[in-house]
Structure 1
Amino acid sequence: MPELPEVHALVTDLGERLRGQTVDRFDALSFAALKTFSPPLSALEGEVVRGVARHGKFLDFEIGELHLVMHLARAGWIRWREGPPPPASGRPGKSALAARLVMRGGGTLPAGSGLDITEAGTKKSLAIYLVTDVNEVPGIAKLGPDPLDAGFTEGVFAGILGRSGRQQIKGVLRNQSNIAGIGNAYSDEILHEARMSPFKPAAMEPDEIERLYGALQVTLRGALERADGLAASELKKEKKLGMQVHGRTGEACPVCGDTVRQVIFADSTLQYCPTCQTGGKLLADRVLSRLLK
């Protein structure tokens, strides 16, 4: 799933390509992905792209007076296409291609260039909205603060943790109503950087809050720097290469050399280093694992 650093890089890359260009049409090939019906998609035709923005993990294409908003979910992605699109293949809603943004072209941009929005796998969670106000998108209206904003201070972070009480810190970091943009991968990386168990209660001592806040900033800003300037086609590879523990079950921890372990949940997994994060203890690989302080 694209998280804050990858979505931020997509905004930069796609903004440079699309800003000032005119929309020819937007085709929704997966009707399940389109979550709104008014305004109609035809309202985008002939409108100019003013810019591309980010709200947590949501992409916001500012087109005329409208906002074309996308949440790529777990398996969604955006591919830049130069020149006219090939004919769509496969049954509507069954192929990986979910939608297309087609531009009229101009300057150095060939007519027909644009975006292919895809989603792999059989579980379809990609969401597309066309709205006049981004706060009409339910997920955006409920977003917590952005962790890279200047206003996201250690004090603000401490307040979030304090209100979360004995909730597991892994879940608190991933909850978009608490903090916008952090998902499964970067929460694993932040906790590894902070040397904390993913099951530690969120309410913690001031020195632990300071350590976790620092780890959050270092992890996200480091990922942002690595992704800066990369094209959309390169972001997935860069994200994977930059991971210390996430997605590296069975490999050696780059810090201490211990074996990276995982816990499997119903619909996701987490990875951690026992030596770095849990005092050498292995977390039970089941949903109701005991909290480790």
Structure 2
Amino acid sequence: MPELPEVAALTDFLDKHLRGAVVTQVQIVSFAVLKTADPPFAELEGRAVAGVQRYGKFVALEADGLYFVFHLARAGWVRFTESPTATHLKMGKGNLAARLTFSSAAGPLGVDLTEAGTKKSLAIYVVRDPSEIPGIAALGPDPFSPGFDVETLAGILGSSSQQVKGLLRSQSVIAGIGNAYSDEILHAARISPFAIARTLDRDAVGVLYGAIHSVLGTALQEAGGKPPNELKDTKRSHLRVHARTGQACPVCGDTVREVSFADTSLQYCPGCQTKGKILADRRTSRFLK
């Protein structure tokens, strides 16, 4: 799933290439992805792109007072082309969810929204104000917003009896962090993913705050300036524990372990994060504290 660093890089790329371009056509290939009916998506056509912004993991393309907003979910992605075809698309069951074409000073441009797999959760909205979208209205603070300081994080953690892994992933608590970077942040902070948030002492909160910024900041630097087709590989290249089950931890050399749930999994290093303890039965054993 694309998270804050990839979505930020994608937003910057689209803003650079689409700002000032005119929307010539919007095609929705799967109406299941379109979550709004008013205003109609066809009203975007003929409008000039004023800019592209990020809200958590949402990308919002502003076109003369209307916003085309999308959330890529788990398996969604963007294909950008400087030579789009004029083909009229038919509704289908393939990976293509929507296509936008543009006219710019540099020539025609195209953006495809795609989604792999059978479980479709990519979402598209056409709205007059991004705050009309429930997922955006409910977002917590962005980790790089001026108001997100160590005191803010301490308040969030201190008031929650949730496991810290789940708390970091909750978009209504902190915007933009997902499964992969929560694994990476907790590994960098040497904190168990099963630790209860309110039990973290002041030193641990400070370390976690630093890890949020160092992990996401490094990923932002790595992703910056890259086109969409390179962002997934860039993300994978610097992950230390996420999706690396069975490999050696690059910090301590212990074996990276996994905990599986119904529709997701997490990875952690016992040597770095749980004092060497391993969750024996990943689905039924009692969580480490």
Q: The TM-score by the shorter chain falls in which range?
A: over 0.9
Are residue 152 (structure 1) and residue 148 (structure 2) matched? yes
CA distance in 2, matches of 1:248, 1:93: 35
Q: Residues 177-216 of structure 1 correspond to what in structure 2 (within 5 A)?
A: 177-203=172-198, 204-216=200-212
Give the alignment's Cα RMSD to 1 decimal: 1.3
Q: State the identity as a percent.
A: 57
The aligned residue for residue 34 of structure 1 is 34
Are residue 9 (structure 1) and residue 4 (structure 2) matched? no
The aligned residue for residue 265 of structure 2 is 269
Q: CA deviation at 1:282?
A: 0.5
- Asked if the contact 1:264–1:285 (Cα under 8 Å) also holds between the matched residues in 2, the reply is no
The amino acid that maps onto 1:106 is S
CA distance in 1, matches of 2:74, 2:171: 15
The amino acid that maps onto 1:263 is V
CA distance in 1, matches of 2:277, 2:92: 45
The amino acid that maps onto 2:126 is L
Q: CA deviation at 1:291?
A: 3.5
Gaps of 5+ in 1: none
Q: Residues 48-87 of structure 1 correspond to what in structure 2 (within 5 A)?
A: 48-85=48-85, 87=87
CA distance in 2, matches of 1:288, 1:246: 21
CA distance in 2, matches of 1:212, 1:224: 18
CA distance in 1, matches of 2:283, 2:155: 27
The aligned residue for residue 253 of structure 1 is 249
CA distance in 2, matches of 1:2, 1:280: 31
CA distance in 2, matches of 1:31, 1:250: 41
Deviations 1:1-26 (A, max 9, x none): 00000000001111110000000011
CA distance in 2, matches of 1:88, 1:196: 52
Match of 1:176 among 171, 179, 182: 171
Q: CA deviation at 1:48?
A: 0.4
CA distance in 2, matches of 1:62, 1:27: 17
CA distance in 1, matches of 2:45, 2:65: 12
Deviations 1:191-241 (A, max 9, x none): 000001100000111111111111111111010011111111110000000
The amino acid that maps onto 2:172 is S
Q: CA deviation at 1:86?
A: 6.3
Gaps of 5+ in 2: none
- Give SS of 2:159's match: helix
Q: CA deviation at 1:263?
A: 0.6
**TM-score scaled by structure 2?**
0.97
Distance 1:132-1:254 versus aligned 2 partners, 3 A rule = same
Distance 1:285-1:63 versus aligned 2 partners, 3 A rule = farther
The aligned residue for residue 106 of structure 1 is 104
CA distance in 1, matches of 2:87, 2:215: 41
The amino acid that maps onto 1:96 is N
Q: CA deviation at 1:83?
A: 1.6
Q: CA deviation at 1:287?
A: 4.3
Q: CA deviation at 1:87?
A: 3.7
CA distance in 1, matches of 2:84, 2:209: 46
- Give SS of 1:32's match: helix
The aligned residue for residue 214 of structure 2 is 218
**TM-score scaled by structure 1?**
0.95
Distance 1:132-1:289 versus aligned 2 partners, 3 A rule = farther
Are residue 164 (structure 1) and residue 138 (structure 2) matched? no
The aligned residue for residue 18 of structure 2 is 18
- Asked if the contact 1:262–1:285 (Cα under 8 Å) also holds between the matched residues in 2, the reply is no
Q: Residues 134-145 of structure 1 correspond to what in structure 2 (within 5 A)?
A: 134-145=130-141
Q: Size of the alignment, in residue pairs?
A: 288
CA distance in 1, matches of 2:271, 2:46: 58
Deviations 1:158-194 (A, max 9, x none): 11101112x1100000000100000000000000000
The amino acid that maps onto 2:44 is L
The amino acid that maps onto 2:5 is P
The aligned residue for residue 282 of structure 2 is 286
- Asked if the contact 1:284–1:290 (Cα under 8 Å) also holds between the matched residues in 2, the reply is no
